[in-house]
Structure 1
Amino acid sequence: MDSNEWWGLVERARDAVGDRADDRDAPDDPLPGVLADVLAALEPERIAAFAVTAVGVTDSACRWPLWNAAYLIEGGCGDDGFMDFRDGLALLGRETYSQAVADPDSLADVPVVVRMSRGERGWIGYKSLSAPVTEAYRRVRGETDSLDAAVEAALRERIRPAAPQGESWDAEDDEANRRRLPRLAALFLD
């Protein structure tokens, strides 16, 4: 599955959810369930291909500046949290995702991020992409072992980033964050 088809499936789910597509809030976020519905209409091999492509898409966001943005937004962010953040960021759609990868400070314009800065509900990394994929595959095949095997086999062939790319800085250094992520710092540090 190429990235255009992958993003098309994400956008189909976002369109079906409508105004709630950016409600990245637990526990009533409708998007993961609707994405599972969209994926369940595919053949099992296509669902597995979606999972493999998801890894490639989210690997493209494995960058230190974005990790530091996630750290500011979520009040801390470890390895697993950053994986979930990138998955949740993808669920915000291709345009938001691409802008954030190119300029993590652009996340200051994303409504859920603004809500989070005010202490309101919101969490970008609430659900990983694996949850709707696994749910869809289980509906179609009645099991998920073959999904895991297919994804693992496909990923063995890929070169994946060993570490985040880009310039790194101490995520707890407020002055560095103000210089590198000024708009996010204004939301979360001031």
Structure 2
Amino acid sequence: MDINEWWGLVERAREAAGDRADDRDAPDDPLPDALTEVLAALEPARIVDFAVTAHEVTASAYRWPLWNAAYLIEGGCGDDGFMDFRDGLALLGRDVFTRAVADPDFLAELPVVVRMSRGERGWIGYETLEGPVREAYARAGGAADGFHAAVETALGGRIPTREPGGETWDVEDAEATRRRLPRLAALFEE
């Protein structure tokens, strides 16, 4: 799937979710259902293409600086947490995603991050982007038990990157973090 088409589908879901599209913490988060609705209008093969492109998009964010930003924002962030963070970041749309991958300190500008820094409710992450995509696949007539096999086939045996890109540092080293993520550090300093 063309990357512009992929981001266009995400944007259509965001538009359907309206002003509640930016926070995954709400118990009645409308964005996953909106994404399912948008994707369910596609043919099953196109939904598999969406899943493959989602894999590529989130893999592009597999970078230490962004992981360290997630660690700071969430008060810790392991492998699964960073996967959730990247899935949720993609749901924030192309502009936010692209800016955050290029400069993770940009995340300090997001209202949800500011709320989180004050100990208020909020979350960027999303448990798994696969859920709404798999549901759309089933609704569009794809074999419910065939989704994973179809995605694996479409991925063609690509091996995921084992080590995040970019330079890392000890995120618990306050001085190093202030140098690399000054705006986020200022929000989350105790």
TM-score of the aligned structures, taking structure 1 as reference length? 0.95
Amino acid aligned to 1:69: A
Structure 1 CA distance for aligned equivalents of residues 144 and 84 of structure 2? 20
Contact 2:87-2:126 within 8 A present in 1 as well: no
Deviations 1:3-53 (A, max 9, x none): 111000000001111111113223121101100110111110011110000
- Could you tell me which residue of structure 2 aligns to residue 187 of structure 1? 187
With 111-120 and 82-91 compared, the bigger mean Cα shift is at: 111-120
- Could you tell me which residue of structure 2 aligns to residue 24 of structure 1? 24
Runs of 4+ in 1 over 4 A off after TM superposition: none
Structure 2 CA distance for aligned equivalents of residues 142 and 26 of structure 1? 30
Q: Any gaps of 5 or more consecutive residues in structure 2?
A: none
* Match status 1:54 vs 2:54: yes
Q: How many residues align?
A: 190
- The correspondence of residues 64-83 of structure 1 with structure 2, limited to 5 A, is 64-83=64-83
- Could you tell me which residue of structure 2 aligns to residue 141 of structure 1? 141
Structure 1 CA distance for aligned equivalents of residues 171 and 155 of structure 2? 30
Contact 1:32-1:127 within 8 A present in 2 as well: no
- The correspondence of residues 147-158 of structure 1 with structure 2, limited to 5 A, is 147-158=147-158
- Could you tell me which residue of structure 2 aligns to residue 84 of structure 1? 84
Deviations 1:112-146 (A, max 9, x none): 11111111111111332111101111222364321
Amino acid aligned to 2:72: L
Amino acid aligned to 1:137: Y
With 41-50 and 170-179 compared, the bigger mean Cα shift is at: 170-179
Amino acid aligned to 2:28: D
